[in-house]
Amino acid sequence: MANDDQVPADAAPEALGDLVSASKRRYQTSEERAADVIRRAILAGTFAPGERLPQTELAEAMDISRIPIRSALRTLESEGLVRFLPHRGVVVSSLTAGERGELYELRAVIESHAIRRSVARATPAALHELRDIVDRVDDSAAPADVRLEARSRFYQLLYGAGNGVRVVDTIMRLRAEAGHQLLGARIGEYAHAELLELVASGDADGAAGFIEDHLRKVAQELAAAPPDPSEPTSG
């Protein structure tokens, strides 16, 4: 299984039209729908890091005005997925290798703390639901979109078992910001079922160490990666 918060390496990016069609089946405001479509497109690799997002074209593709598109992009900016740049407009966020390493270091601190609270407070009902989901997360034969949906739900439930909304939202934003930067890469592989068993057994130290070791390993691998010639340097 590929790195736990990104699109699997064998998954082809979804077409924007397919994402728009799927969004029509959900009952949302225009702004919520636009944010959902663009977010999914970024996380699925339809829009690559650094790619410009023309608001007029997005509005036409979704058959809505530019106002909800701009509001949706502001929401995604707060999630770290896009940036508003002078003279360029809105682009998909792109991080240097060093910034990606720092992001994983930050996640290691926050998530290892959060998992300890989840171990202490997870209910039998929450563990039962997590076990149902983990089979889909770790099923390499399942479609990529099914695994991504299951993975997101898995971590929302896992961290939500012992932490407040603000902590969970912060973790999920950091996961989303990290995930779309490494589309298709095979870094830091692990089975989610192994982590879940540590939680279910009440092993707070083991679960926290598992999360921390995994994320710090990814940070180290990113720091050791060859420099990308397209990335800015410090001069």
pLDDT of 94-135, one tens digit each? 878 788 888 888 999 999 999 999 999 999 999 999 999 988
Residue 218 confidence (pLDDT) above 90: no
pLDDT tens across 160-185, in order?
999 999 999 999 988 888 776 665 45
Residue 233 banded pLDDT, cuts 50, 70, 90: very low
pLDDT of residue 135: 84
Residue-number span of the structural domain to which 22 is assigned: 16-92
Amino acid at 126: A
Token output for 7 = 């699109």
What is the pLDDT, as a whole number, of residue 231? Answer: 41
- The β-bridge partners of 92 are 82
- Whole-number pLDDT of residue 7: 46
> Residue 16: is its pLDDT beyond 60?
yes
Of 46, 70, 92, at which residue does a domain stop? 92
Query: pTM of the prediction?
Result: 0.69
Phi, psi of 82 (to 5 degrees): -135, 165
Q: Provide the CATH number for the domain around residue 161.
A: 1.20.120.530
Closest alpha carbon to 100 in 234, 215, 230, 229: 215
Whether residues 52 and 144 share a domain: the answer is: no
Which position has the higher pLDDT, 20 or 132? 132
Residue 53 lies in a domain: yes
CATH number at residue 86: 1.10.10.10
229 class by beta-carbon count within 10 Å (0-12 exposed, 13-18 middle, 19+ buried)? exposed
Do 144 and 88 reside in the same domain of the chain? Answer: no
Same domain, 52 and 165: no
Whether 27 maps to a domain, the answer reads yes
Euclidean distance between CA atoms 61 and 6, whole angstroms = 25
Check residue 22 and give its pLDDT. Answer: 61
235 within domain boundaries: no
Residue 170 lies in a domain: yes
**Are 61 and 105 contained in the same domain?**
no
**DSSP letters of 114-153?**
HHHHHHHH--HHHHHHHHHHHHHHT-TTS-HHHHHHHHHH
The answer on pLDDT for 25 being more than 80 is no
At residue 9 the predicted structure's pLDDT band, cuts being 50, 70 and 90, is: very low
Are 134 and 38 found together in one domain?
Answer: no
| pLDDT tens track for 137-156 | 877 777 766 777 888 899 99
Task: Considering only residues 79 and 111, tell me which one the structure prediction assigns the higher pLDDT.
Answer: 111
| pLDDT higher than 50, residue 31 | yes
Do 86 and 101 fall into the same domain?
Answer: no
